[in-house]
Every structure is written in structure tokens, then in C-alpha cells.
Amino acid sequence: MKIIILIIATAASIACRSESKPRLRAVSVGWRPVEKWSGHGNLQTDSFDIGSGQWRIKWETGSEPSSAAGVFRVTVHSEVSGRPLAVAIDHRGAGHGTAYVNEDPRLYHLAIESSGLDWSIAVEEAVVSDSSNGS
């Protein structure tokens, strides 16, 4: 009988223990401006450095006064080898948007092909902050 009471008391003791909660980590992503360009027609940008590997291109196009519609294409290139890595934007006519790029950290440049459009682009790099939350 003493053993049964001991087992019940042990089980009750274990059940009443409070387990410690794991610490929650809050992670947020911000965007750091890297470069901006605007114009019309074709352009190969200067090189720019991306250290995180995650970045985006915010873009906007508008029709030139003499044109009803146009073409806008932006190709991401490795600055080291010069090879094209991805077509980030391929759009016809006026518009705007955001293209996300996930590539290895390195130097890049963009090849912009545009006809009949005024355009502007801004390259921004992802910046991750990690803060612990004790609750």
C-alpha cells in the first residue's frame, strides 16, 4: 500500500511541475537602399554589392509622350563573370512592382532594356534583425 501511495504522489508531483517555455525569437526584415537609377532607353548599371543574398528591385514605368506602349526588361548579371543570372522584370506598358532576387552574395549589375517607356528602379537589400523576447 505504501508503494501505491508513493507512485501516486510521484505522478502528482510530476504533473504539477511547470515546464519552462522556450524563449521566442522575433525576427524582422527591413530594406536598406543600395542604388537608384532612372531614365529611358537601354542602360547597363554600375556594379553594386549585395552581402545578404536577398534583395529586391522596386520599379515603375510610364509611357513616353510619343509612345502608347513599350517594353521594360531588367536582367540581373554577375559583375564578376558578366553572365546573366535571371530576368527579374519583363513588363509591357506603364506599371510598377517589386521583383525579389535570391542569389549568392556578390557584386551585380543590371541590364535594362526599355523602349517607349520612362522608367525608374531602386535596389534594396534585405536586412534581418534578431531580437530575443523573454515572454
pLDDT in tens, 92-125: 999 999 999 999 999 999 999 999 999 999 999 9
pTM of the entire predicted model: 0.74
pLDDT of residue 26: 76
C-alpha cell at 101: 532576387
The model's pLDDT over 18-75, given as tens digits with 9 standing for 90+, comes to: 555 666 677 788 999 999 999 999 999 999 999 998 999 999 999 766 656 789 999 9
Q: What are the structural domain ranges in the chain?
A: 26-129
Bridge partners (DSSP) of residue 11 are none
Residue type, 113: E
Closest CA to 63 of 105, 13, 115: 115
C-alpha cell at 16: 504539477
d(CA 58, CA 60): 7
* CATH T-level topology, domain 26-129: Jelly Rolls (2.60.120)
Whether 130 and 27 have beta carbons less than 8 Å apart is answered as yes
Tell how strand 84-92 and strand 117-133 pair up: unpaired
d(CA 108, CA 82): 9
DSSP per position, 79-102? TTT--EEEEEEEEESSEEEEEEEE
